[in-house]
């Protein structure tokens, strides 16, 4: 419980860190090499506690991401900024206009993270279910954004950056509804994943675009 309160207290530091990192021009933060697109605190099943965090980042090189994360307040507080202790993937988002439903429009925003089973167990399952997975997500009318998780090689066109899982952001009316969505995904039914999890999340405003001035401030 103490860790929960510590996480809550550090959220403001994290948000300000992200906003400053995203704010750059020819005179301010000129060495910024990472754009922080999303910061999603992962919630407990009862929606009462923050139990983790997912960040979506954009950069030209992996080392820039590692450098930035080593200074991120949550990570510094948890382990002194040791990036080797966190899971890092290259996410290739599916660019399909039908997968752009707003967070929370139909239920609560939720994420599904599925990590593939060993190659000898799944064979060509990922490729064989690719079309069916896309059709399933479109028909569900729940998906916010989705795409495969790849190994985080230094360069995105590295052939060794193979897909090893999937990240799907979607809306769900309940935890049971979220689990049902994940388990009925064609790739899940075909046995692609060795680890499949769903989590509700919050969406932090790290852009600063929606901040209003405090009317009580002097």
pLDDT at 1: 46
d(CA 34, CA 66): 10
How large a percentage of the chain has pLDDT more than 70? 89
Beta-carbon contacts of 83 under 8 Å, excluding residues fewer than 6 positions away, are 66, 69, 70, 75
Q: What is the pLDDT of residues 111-158, one digit of tens each?
A: 999 999 999 999 999 999 999 999 999 999 999 999 999 999 887 778
Confidence check: pLDDT of 7 > 60: yes
Average pLDDT for the chain: 88
Confidence check: pLDDT of 166 > 50: yes
d(CA 190, CA 78): 37
Per-residue confidence band for 208, with pLDDT thresholds at 50, 70 and 90: low
Confidence check: pLDDT of 13 > 70: yes
Q: What is the pLDDT of residues 27-45, one digit of tens each?
A: 666 777 899 999 999 999 8
pLDDT at 214: 52
The pTM of this model reads 0.87
7 contacts 50 by C-beta, under 8 angstroms: yes
């Amino acid at each position: 419980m103490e860790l929960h309160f510590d996480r809550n207290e550090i959220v403001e530091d994290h948000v300000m860190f992200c906003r400053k990192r995203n704010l750059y021009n020819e005179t301010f933060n000129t060495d910024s090499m990472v754009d922080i697109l999303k910061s999603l605190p992962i919630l407990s099943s009862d929606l009462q506690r923050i139990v983790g965090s997912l960040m979506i980042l954009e950069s030209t090189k992996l080392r820039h991401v590692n450098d930035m994360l080593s200074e991120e307040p949550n990570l510094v507080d948890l382990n002194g900024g040791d990036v080797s202790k966190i899971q890092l993937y290259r996410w290739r988002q599916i660019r399909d206009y039908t997968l752009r439903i707003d967070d929370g429009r139909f239920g609560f925003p939720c994420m599904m993270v599925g990590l593939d089973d060993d190659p000898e167990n799944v064979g060509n399952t990922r490729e064989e279910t690719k079309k069916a997975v896309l059709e399933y997500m479109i028909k569900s009318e729940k998906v916010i954004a989705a795409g495969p998780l790849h190994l985080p090689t230094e360069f995105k066109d590295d052939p060794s950056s193979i897909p090893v899982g999937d990240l799907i952001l979607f809306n769900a009316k309940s935890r049971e509804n979220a689990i049902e969505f994940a388990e009925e995904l064609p790739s899940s039914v075909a046995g692609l994943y060795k680890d499949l999890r769903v989590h509700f999340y919050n969406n932090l405003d790290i852009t600063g675009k929606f901040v209003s001035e405090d009317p009580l401030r002097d």
